[in-house]
Amino acid sequence: MEAIILKIIIKSLLVIMLIVYGSIAFTMLYRKWRKKHLNLIEDTFANVTSMYLYPNPNEEPDLIKIQRTFRNLGIVPSKPRNVQYLIDLMIRTQRSILGENYTKLKTLFTQIPPYGASANKLNSRKWYIKARGIREIYEMNQNQYTRDLIKLRNDSNIYVRREAQIGLVIFLGWKSLRLLPYLKRQMTLWQQIKIVEKLKDLYPEPDLAYLRKAYESDKPYAIGLIMRIIRKFNLQEDVHYIIQFLDNQKFDIRECALYCISSFSLNNDQLGEIKEKFYNISNVEQKLQLLKYIQKISYEIDLPFYKNLLYNGNDIIKLSVADILWNNGYKEEVQEYYYQQYAMQNDGEKVPV
Amino acid sequence: MEFDLSYYIYWTLNYFFLFYGLTLVALYFFAIILSNRSVTRNKRKARFLQVNDIVSATDIPSITLIAPAYNEGQTIVENVKSLLALQYPFYELIVVNDGSTDNTLDLLIAKYDLESFDSTFITQPIPTATVNKIYKSRKLQYKQLTVIDKNNGGKSDANNAGINFASTELVLFTDADCIIEQDSLLKMVRPYLEESEQEVIACGAAIGIINDSVVKNGVVVELKLPKNLIPMIQVVEYIRAFLLGRMAWSEINGVMLVSGAFGLYARNRIIEVNGFNINTVGEDLELGIRLRKHMEDIKVPYKMVYIPETLCWTEAPNNTEVLIKQRDRWARGLWETMALHKDLFFNRKYRDMGMFYYPYWMFFELGAPIVEFLGILSLIVFGLLGLINWNMAILLFTCVYLLGCIFSTISIFIYVKNFKHYDSGKEVIELLLAAYLEPFFYHPLLVLGQVQGYYKKIFGVKSVWGNMKRKGFKTLPEDKI
């Protein structure tokens, strides 16, 4: 390799270093300037909002002046980051205000820039802009865009479809569940949690007709969502839906079913059903969970069931069963089992515990 | 030309070093692109799942934080207090007293009003050293605290005991002396909430250096750069490792190591693989690889992820002796883990992990100190034989040095752009200077520590964990704030 080539490489590397230095300096200076500018937008917005909500007597708010002020602060379509900041401020303010002032604020926001910014974002090619637009639409309660959200419910991007589905729940309530069997893509845990929460907050009266229509769906995420809804709304009459999934082949569905069933108490038939399902569960940890639940909701100890497990179960299950029996007045049964094991050991047989 | 063996060896080695170096440089440049993408994507995603949303949510996975403690009497009460204050709606804390010989347990019992529980029937899916007693607090405000008192079995064994007693979906491992950001659990749980196609089996976050910073009630109130050069360089090293390395791996689902100081795992999967391996000092890497192998074996799509935010702070070695010991231990851990899982090497069955990730670790993590050591040896030997063209060597050295500086500078740039921990001009200049001094004052110590570790493994020299003498960060009393 020639020395000249190495010298050229060194010079190029030095140039790269200088570029990176420049980028660091620019980033730091820009951040300082940006912070100042955002503070200015925030102060102006606070003044405008308070003047509008609590005007001085005989003084009408001058909307033209307000619009001009925002324009001068850079709230124009060519500066989307400023627009975004203002939208975030609007959402934050709207969230914290209730009653008559909430309606007044909604009117104000339709009269000042940005105009239709959130709806325009739905046409963006970038997922994070589109998803943000959807979120703003539902946060600002702009239900005139419900149809647009329905179109995006199966979007290929997980964030876009998640926000669209949450928006649909907010706008349509229980009716939105009829779309569940028609969803084509996966739903995340967060999506399920958010949907259940929004239903509880905005539509606390369950509409079982729509929920039961959704029972037709056999997709794991739909099953999970329905079980969470049944749990959240404490729908005792629909608990059989959860029970049927306790011994499902899929670990996650079983996990969700175990979690959801834990807040219900069951009648004897249902208890019998879950005891039968207990034997079909392959995962020991989940078996333990179910065992604890059975013990918690049972009025009396089902001795044959526990004894069967004590003599035929997995080692860890046996220990848990021994714990339950011991602490519920069946010490003799536990002792008898251990004596038997001891005897077997003395006979040279394998001791399971 | 006559056949000259030394000349032949000289050129073979030269081309080997050149090829090795160029490959590494290419990989680092690739890592910059990947990590930049990953950090940007993470920031965008975070906007749609903010901590305020999570903190008020129901139904989110429950988490147990497992903190092993061995002779931590000086700091245990404060550390537990800080761990109890973490924000998470469904959170439990298990402190495992791993057979401490000091007053760790007594202090915990007294401060948190603990009472012991019968542990006769406690199930232990993972075998551990004998558990003596389980303690819970009588006070309602500490109801999420459990203390396990067990015989000494080492950090991994203590972690395994914690896994056994946890009843939550997720378990987070940390060291009792780490300072954890208050909202860290809310951020760490994000990947578990957001993933749908692949199961998230482990999640890690960046770890920062806290030497000389100010801490109050277990919370970092003023982050300062260390005054000493060794921990200062480690700040740059950690930024580079987490921001460039781990984030890049995360982007291609190639993370094999989630740091033992701060990692969140799915409890059911850890139990399936029988917990931490107690026979290696590289238990975190070993667990990561074993978990991945398990998921490959059972053919369940999975992910191990990293989030770029610094959520855990730790004290770095403050002097050369402790630093060398630490790197010696890490090197032994790496060696042991690579040896344990050598069946992965170019094994098609394990897809990308077998064909790319494991060989990368073999060649460029395990192999780098050996290559560097060989490089220094050849420089000396060939220099003495008069085979080296010193003008060219100096130019080549300058190139390599500048490349290293560029990688560090870019890491610092990505950090400054995305995070506000070190945002004053003075701090950034100090970080850059530390990065440029690293190859002269710090890197040789690392190579020494690593080669020492390998030497011990090759020749079977016994070694112990060793205690790190901590200088400590400044802890302010309440009235000082």
Query: Do residues A299 and A265 make contact, with C-beta atoms less than 8 angstroms apart?
Result: no
Which spans in A233-330 are helix H? 239-243, 251-261, 268-278, 284-297, 303-312, 315-326
| Three-class DSSP category at A145 | helix
A351 falls in which pLDDT band (50, 70, 90)? very low
What is the structure's pLDDT at A333?
85
Residue B222 φ then ψ, to 5°: -145, 115
pLDDT at A174 over 80: yes
In this prediction, the residues of chain B whose per-residue pLDDT falls under 50 are 1, 478-481
What is the structure's pLDDT at B416?
93
Provide the 10 A C-beta neighbour count for residue A141.
Answer: 12
More confident residue, A223 or A330: A223
| Three-class DSSP category at B169 | coil
Cα end-to-end span (Å), chain A: 71
More confident residue, A105 or A168: A168
Mean pLDDT of chain A: 88
A345 falls in which pLDDT band (50, 70, 90)? low
What is the structure's pLDDT at B473?
53
The mean pLDDT of A253-276, rounded to a whole number, is: 92
Rounded Cα–Cα distance for residues B142 and B209 (Å): 29
B interface test, pick of A189, A228, A318 with most B CB neighbours within 10 Å: A189
**B391 in contact with A, Cβ within 8 Å:** yes
More confident residue, A139 or A26: A26
Residue of B nearest to A252 (CA): B199
Rounded Cα–Cα distance for residues A10 and A58 (Å): 72
User: Cα dist. A1→A4, A10, B381, B391, B393 in Å?
Assistant: 9, 14, 21, 12, 11
Residues A135, B48: C-beta atoms closer than 8 Å: yes
The interface predicted TM-score of the complex, written ipTM, equals 0.87
Provide the 10 A C-beta neighbour count for residue B311.
Answer: 23
Query: Do residues A250 and A220 make contact, with C-beta atoms less than 8 angstroms apart?
Result: yes
| Three-class DSSP category at B9 | helix
What is the structure's pLDDT at B289?
97
B interface test, pick of A9, A156, A188, A190 with most B CB neighbours within 10 Å: A190
Which DSSP state fits B243? I
According to the 3-state scheme, what is the secondary structure of A29-57? HHHHHHHHHHHHHHHHHHHHHHHHHCCCC
Cα end-to-end span (Å), chain B: 78
Nearest CB to B403; choose among A13, A192, A251: A13
What is the structure's pLDDT at B65?
96
Q: Of all helices (H) and strands (E), which one includes residue B148?
A: strand B145-150
A24 falls in which pLDDT band (50, 70, 90)? very high
Return the amino acid letter for B22: L
Structure tokens at B444: 């040789």
Interface subset of B 34-73, CB within 8 angstroms of A: 44-45, 47-49, 53, 57-61
What is the tens place of the pLDDT at every residue in B245-293?
999 999 999 999 999 889 999 999 999 999 999 999 999 999 999 999 9
Residues A1, B416: C-beta atoms closer than 8 Å: no
What is the structure's pLDDT at B476?
54
Nearest CB to B413; choose among A14, A20, A322: A20
Query: Do residues A197 and A233 make contact, with C-beta atoms less than 8 angstroms apart?
Result: no
What is the structure's pLDDT at B465?
52
Which spans in B62-194 are helix H? 76-84, 104-112, 155-165, 184-188, 190-194
Query: Do residues B170 and B258 make contact, with C-beta atoms less than 8 angstroms apart?
Result: no
